[in-house]
Structure 1
Amino acid sequence: MAADAYLKRPLDRFRSFETKDVDEARQIVGRHFCSHRLDRASASGRFDACQNRLAGQHLSLNYIRYGADVSIEPGELTDFYLIQVPLRGSADISNGRQSLVSTPKLASVLNPDRHTTMRWHAGCEQILLQIDRAFLHAVAEKMAGLPLARIRFAAGLDLARTDVAAWSRCFRGLVQAVEAGEAFDSGDQRRQRLLEEALVGSLLACQANTASSLLERRESGAAPAILKRARTFIQERFRDEIGLLDISAHAGTTPRNLQILFKREYGTGPVQQLHDTRLAYARHLLLADADSLSIAEIAEASGHRHFGRFSVGYKKRFGESPRDTRSARLFS
């Protein structure tokens, strides 16, 4: 590839390094991400590594190329998620049991608690979003309105899907805004946090993950205070033995009126929302903590007191049994 092909790349104002030395590239990238193995995977091609990088409060924007065919093994990322969007070329990605060939049509999401290996083929260039693990978890809990277990994503981010494509445009738009000096340097910490929360929140909403069943946004900003109190009570107490009378008493209205308001706003009743919340939380635990909890323990932890009714209700809601969900290991 001609040398001038590399003259202008995303985030060029924020050059971290450019080198033809493999050891130097490994050392500098390792400081920004984590220690890792970096080796040439073939003798052909010119190693010409470059990283552009700008860090925000809880995430960083990056552009990386290596030029030559390289193998990369960071193991577990531990403290951060990494979204990699190829601009050119391709990369073989393995994160835990999930593997894919990443291209400009299929980005990758690396989960921090799964062993990762990669091979970036010659000519591969990517923009990367590094997200602090604790921050993403906090955003997910804020969206769900309740405490969550482990968050893991599906590794393949399909950029042809409408919602994912919209997220990708936001990500690329942020990179362009940074390049134009319109983001990340205002000194307004609240604005920066809101920007980062919006980007991470939309990723959680569009990309399949262990908490997806709990992240569906159903409440409108104009919902009556009675409904907001009722939904908050359901989210906080769904593990307990509560029913319609408890919910309506907390909301400050009659059971009949609460049912009417729920039906009008959500198309379902408050007791059904209670059951849906319990089932969604059970699915979250089955996907996130399948190795540490038995199905019976998950049923109890999600507020189900009768195991048989739990299994029947779960299959009706999700089209598969709890055992099937656990055995599938979708995000392992």
Structure 2
Amino acid sequence: MEPLLFESQDLGKTEEFLNRAYTKMQIGGGASDVRTRISRATAESLSVDRLEICFEMSYDADPLGKICLCEVYSGSIVDHTTGGRREDFHPGDLVSFAPPDRPMAGKVRRSTYSITMFDPALLTRVAGVSRKGNAPVRLLEHRPHSRQAARQLSRTIAYLGDHALPDPVVQASPLVLASLAQLLASSVLATFPNTAMTDREGRDARPASIRRALAYMESNLDQAIGVADIAAAAGVTVRALQTAFQRHLGTTPLAHLRRLRLAEVRAELLAADPSVSTVVGIAARWGFHHHGRMTAAYRELYGELPSTTLARS
């Protein structure tokens, strides 16, 4: 099945399409130019949509009945209200837009963003945990627990929307579609705090000290921290931390920290304007001041030079 493409400069037709594609809703816009473009890749209950709203559009929508993820590429979504929470989303934000059973309202301000939806029951099936009273798995937070996890989920969504779902061979294979749905659900469970994660905490093979260390690293990637700071945050000695990392992660704390920072460098390179940004400048922001060593580490991790990544962006 080819991706569906909707384009319109008629507010009424746009509202009609959104009602068919998502849920009953009312939209409004005060501008004379109300251009809308929506491309949709879908299979069974899974869909990945790319939306371009070229005006300020208000929305007031009924519950979607599905897990709904939103990733903002440009512009903003403001005054988004659901379940008593009100928030603004900006470029780079990837969020769980609204619980399946809650209505939502807000404003889209000349924004380009994606909407990814799937059956919430899939989370429970993929989690593979025994739930008390057969309670379904739920997301506990609307924002990812780390930037690294958000980037991985973003890559999964891009793969599904750009390559997998539009492929006729994939569309014709129920087994492949089921695997893709499971891939997405697994990525969501790895990205957002959820009730299945809470159930597994007591069975996590990694010590609490490592979990504390990883959380501290994620929160301080742009700070000048060392192994002593990480150990202090984890509540153990430097030697104990190094031993735990080698035993459970097969690396050292500083090597893991470097890997996380290289991921930040790559994310900036991919989003940068090559005519304005430089590899040296981006690397320096993440603590890499020796260009040769950073380049060697980057190439080993990603299989290309950082300058190649920047040129491709």
TM-score by length of 2: 0.58
Q: Which amino acid aligns with 2:141?
A: A
Cα pair 1:82 1:129 within 8 Å, conserved: yes
Give the equivalent residue in structure 1 for 2:108: 120
Q: 1:189 aligns with which of 174, 190, 198?
A: 174
Verify: 1:170 aligned to 2:156, yes or no.
Answer: yes
What's the CA shift for 1:119?
Answer: 0.8
Q: 1:209 aligns with which of 184, 187, 194?
A: 194
Q: 1:74 to 1:183 in 2, by over 3 A?
A: farther
What's the CA shift for 1:68?
Answer: 0.6
In 1: Cα distance, 2:73 partner to 2:137 partner:
30
In 2: Cα distance, 1:29 partner to 1:175 partner:
19
Verify: 1:15 aligned to 2:4, yes or no.
Answer: yes
* Secondary structure, aligned partner of 2:180: helix
Q: 1:24 to 1:153 in 2, by over 3 A?
A: farther
In 2: Cα distance, 1:111 partner to 1:58 partner:
16
Verify: 1:199 aligned to 2:184, yes or no.
Answer: yes
For residues 271-320 of structure 1, what are the alpha-carbon distances to aligned partners after superposition, in whole Å with 9 as ceiling and x for unaligned?
xxxxxxxxxxxxxxxxxxxxxxxxxxxxxxxxxxxxxxxxxxxxxxxxxx
Q: 1:130 aligns with which of 109, 117, 122?
A: 117
* Secondary structure, aligned partner of 2:55: coil
* Secondary structure, aligned partner of 2:115: strand
Give the equivalent residue in structure 1 for 2:76: 90
Q: 1:174 to 1:183 in 2, by over 3 A?
A: farther
Q: Which amino acid aligns with 2:122?
A: F
Q: Which amino acid aligns with 2:181?
A: E
What's the CA shift for 1:14?
Answer: 1.9
What's the CA shift for 1:114?
Answer: 1.9
CA-atom RMSD, angstroms? 2.9
Q: 1:39 aligns with which of 28, 35, 52?
A: 28
* Secondary structure, aligned partner of 1:156: coil
In 2: Cα distance, 1:108 partner to 1:183 partner:
30
Q: Which amino acid aligns with 1:26?
A: E
For residues 170-223 of structure 1, what are the alpha-carbon distances to aligned partners after superposition, in whole Å with 9 as ceiling and x for unaligned?
2112222148738743x221121012101111211221234431255858xxxx
Q: 2:44 aligns with which of 41, 46, 57?
A: 57
For residues 94-126 of structure 1, what are the alpha-carbon distances to aligned partners after superposition, in whole Å with 9 as ceiling and x for unaligned?
2212232112221221211222112101x2011
Unaligned 5+ segments in structure 2 are 206-247, 249-313
What's the CA shift for 1:27?
Answer: 0.9
Q: 1:38 to 1:180 in 2, by over 3 A?
A: closer
What's the CA shift for 1:65?
Answer: 2.0
Q: 1:89 to 1:45 in 2, by over 3 A?
A: farther
Q: Which amino acid aligns with 1:136?
A: L
Q: 1:179 to 1:115 in 2, by over 3 A?
A: closer
What count of residue pairs does the alignment treat as equivalent? 203
Cα pair 2:72 2:112 within 8 Å, conserved: yes
Using the aligned pairs only, state the percent identity: 17
Q: 1:132 to 1:82 in 2, by over 3 A?
A: same
Cα pair 2:77 2:108 within 8 Å, conserved: yes
Q: 1:215 to 1:90 in 2, by over 3 A?
A: farther
Cα pair 1:174 1:183 within 8 Å, conserved: no
Verify: 1:139 aligned to 2:135, yes or no.
Answer: no
In 2: Cα distance, 1:25 partner to 1:166 partner:
32
Q: 1:152 to 1:95 in 2, by over 3 A?
A: farther
Q: 2:58 aligns with which of 50, 54, 71?
A: 71
Q: Which amino acid aligns with 1:195?
A: L
Q: 1:149 to 1:136 in 2, by over 3 A?
A: closer
Give the equivalent residue in structure 1 for 2:141: 154
* Secondary structure, aligned partner of 2:12: helix
In 2: Cα distance, 1:45 partner to 1:136 partner:
42
Cα pair 1:111 1:153 within 8 Å, conserved: no
In 2: Cα distance, 1:179 partner to 1:133 partner:
19
